[in-house]
Structure 1
Amino acid sequence: MFRFFFAATALLIHVSAAAQEPALTPDSRLPGLLRERAVLTRRYAEASAQRHSLFGNKPSKKDLQEVVDALQGIVDKDQQIVDVLNETTQKATTTSARLAATTTHLETSSRDDRNLTSQRLAELESEAQNLREREKQQLTKLRNLEAEVAEAKQGHFVRDVLIAGLALACVGLLLVRRRRK
């Protein structure tokens, strides 16, 4: 019986330590169960202190039955407390697994976003490089065309000067021929 009392006390200390953790929610049944267990523990202490025997300072059968009933109440309450703790543990495990899955999903999504952004940035840089290259080619073509236009203008100028010179020579020859006549 003392071993059982020692085990129940150890469980109460463990439950009390667990009750101080922030895992308790406002709707948790654990504080109420612990208060009820404390009442049952006081009832046990009162029952075990009673000595109503006819033979002196020994507990009577009724006193022993009250002790047994009090201990059974404590055991039942401890089982309820263990059930609540198991339930809380299960909820915490489920929440932890859900958070781990969410974290994994977010990490994967973040990695995919980074890869997509890097790929898009590389495409944009490649496109910008292509545009710069085309601009250089267009500028080279433009310079070549301008050089051709300048060369053609110079060719036209030389041609026009030759035509004008030939026209003057023809006019001069006509004048010389008319004078000779």
Structure 2
Amino acid sequence: MTQETLFEIAGLIGVAFYLGSYALLQAGVLKGNGYVYATLNLLAASLVLVSLFNGWNLWSAIIQTSWIVISVVGMTRVWLLTRGLRFSEEEEALRARHFSHMRRLDAKRLFRASEWRDGVRGEELTKADTPVTRLSYVMPGGREYCGWRQCNCRTWQRRVHRRDGVSGERSSECDSRDQPAVAVF
């Protein structure tokens, strides 16, 4: 196998990486804001750049070098945003239980936009048959209530946490507990 052939194969594989990664992005398999897509573009650009040594083209080399730089900058940005990401005990429990499908960075952004507070005994969270003004979640240990769907509260009394419904939905209160709770709004 000649050196020319190796350069051609590198270019072909690079094009396959470009097209494959973009097809996976458009199909919804890949997300454009993580490491995988940027890494595939980095590999594609590097392979196409190597293939240019067979037939040099300055403008193509500039494009491939730009893709490499953009990919490295994007991966560095994601690394910088996630390297010091810390969750409190309550945040980690909520993330693991309900938001494990989310990237850690997205979950942290959601939690930063939330209002966390410790509830007090007897505090009214919702009233039956009244529209709820925001999405609520009560961590284990607090008042139990049913959310946006009709439910038989008797069957839910052993469970300690409930999610309330979507904003504007009516709520129906169930059983109450005397243990401390954390409410997320």
TM-score (norm 2): 0.28
Please identify which structure carries the higher strand content: 2
* Structure with max Cα Rg: 1
Provide the TM-score with structure 1 as the length reference.
0.29
